[in-house]
């Protein structure tokens, strides 16, 4: 695999990942990953939160959704690692709290091998945009489960995805840390 050429998913192996020197960074440093804080409209009857709007397309990497689904993850489960060659994921948490782990595996990126964590949940609603070439996953931090809605930019295609076990690399990033 050569620097200067976009890595194909087929080129990434668990051994390759284990031989990388990742840079764990505070905040969101990975080029192309964006976080949009969502507005909760609250009154005496309840609340309304906009999760995604076509009027946001083009703003901070937000893209048109072609496939929307909701996933639930039981408390304490780490659901990762995977990456996409083509589609962009756009996550919103609708129940509970999660930690999203992000790893830039794009050799041409100025943030190649940066590792970020993003915390989000119903108490701090956010839309996280994860472009192609970013390995990602999450840990459920709430009982009994979390629910995540994904506004992905392409219809799901298993050929566009590569998966690794959660403990292939970077097991140390997952919260909470005791102390």
By the 8 A CB rule, do 41 and 26 touch? no
Query: Rounded CA gap, 31 and 172, in Å?
Result: 23
Least Cα distance to 14 among 179, 172, 129, 162 occurs for 162
What tokens appear for 76 in the block? 């304490």
The tens-digit pLDDT sequence of the chain (179 residues) is 444 455 677 789 999 999 999 999 999 999 999 999 999 999 999 999 999 999 999 999 999 999 999 999 999 999 999 999 999 999 999 999 999 999 999 999 999 999 999 999 999 999 999 999 999 999 999 999 999 999 999 999 999 999 999 999 999 999 887 65
Which CATH code for domain 21-156? Answer: 2.60.120.10
């Amino acid at each position: 695999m050569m620097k200067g050429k976009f890595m194909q998913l087929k080129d990434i192996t668990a051994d390759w990942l284990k031989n990388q020197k990742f840079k764990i960074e505070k905040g969101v440093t990975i080029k192309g990953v964006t976080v949009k804080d969502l507005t909760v409209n609250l009154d005496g009857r309840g609340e309304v939160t906009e999760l995604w709007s076509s009027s946001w397309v083009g703003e901070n990497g937000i893209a048109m959704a072609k496939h929307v689904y909701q996933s639930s993850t039981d408390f304490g489960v780490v659901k990762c690692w995977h990456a996409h060659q083509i589609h962009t994921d756009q996550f919103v948490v609708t129940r509970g709290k999660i930690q999203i782990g992000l790893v830039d595996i794009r050799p041409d990126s100025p943030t190649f091998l940066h590792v970020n964590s993003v915390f989000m949940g119903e108490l701090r609603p956010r839309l996280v945009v994860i472009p192609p070439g970013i390995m990602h996953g999450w840990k459920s931090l709430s009982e009994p489960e979390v629910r995540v809605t994904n506004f992905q930019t392409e219809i799901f295609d298993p050929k566009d995805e590569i998966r690794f076990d959660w403990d292939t690399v970077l097991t140390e990033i997952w919260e909470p840390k005791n102390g």
